[in-house]
Amino acid sequence: MSKEITLTDANFKSEVLESKVPVLVDFWASWCGPCRMVGPIVEEIADEYDGKARVGKVNTEENATITGEYGIISIPTLIFFKDGKPVDQIIGAVPKEAIKKKLDALLK
């Protein structure tokens, strides 16, 4: 079972902005081909970083408020949060190592 969190407009503040550990947020949509490529990688990262960082997914079609707040216009967009603030991001499909490198930097 994946450790991934389903993020919504309603729980984003408590799950991401108030998190005591870094959070990786994957903004995606079901019709997005590159999102389907990145999805399994994000799930693996959620399991690997369990206890060190949190990983969540925002369905952009169902959560327009939070999608708009962060200016998401291309998906997948991965935003890295630390201390409740966005500190880095990746747009598009990238290899797992590229995502892990950015997440590891937040854990130092």
Average pLDDT over residues 103-108: 93
Domain positions in the chain: 5-106
Using left for φ > 0, alpha for ψ between -120 and 50, and beta otherwise, residue 51 falls in left
Active site (annotated) includes residue 33: no
Catalytic residue selected from 7, 23, 32, 42: 32
Catalytic residue selected from 35, 75, 99, 103: 35
Is the pLDDT at 12 greater than 70? The verdict is: yes
Q: How far apart are CA 108 and CA 13, in angstroms?
A: 24
pLDDT of residue 2: 62
Q: How far apart are CA 54 and CA 45, in angstroms?
A: 9
Q: How far apart are CA 56 and CA 67, in angstroms?
A: 13
Active site (annotated) includes residue 32: yes
Is the pLDDT at 74 greater than 90? The verdict is: yes
pLDDT of residue 50: 93
Contact 12, 21 (CB under 8 A): no
Predicted TM-score (pTM) of this structure: 0.95
Q: pLDDT (tens digit, 9 = 90+) per residue, 27-67?
A: 999 999 999 999 999 999 999 999 999 999 999 999 999 99
DSSP label at 32?
A: -
Q: Does domain 5-106 match CATH 3.40.30.10?
A: yes
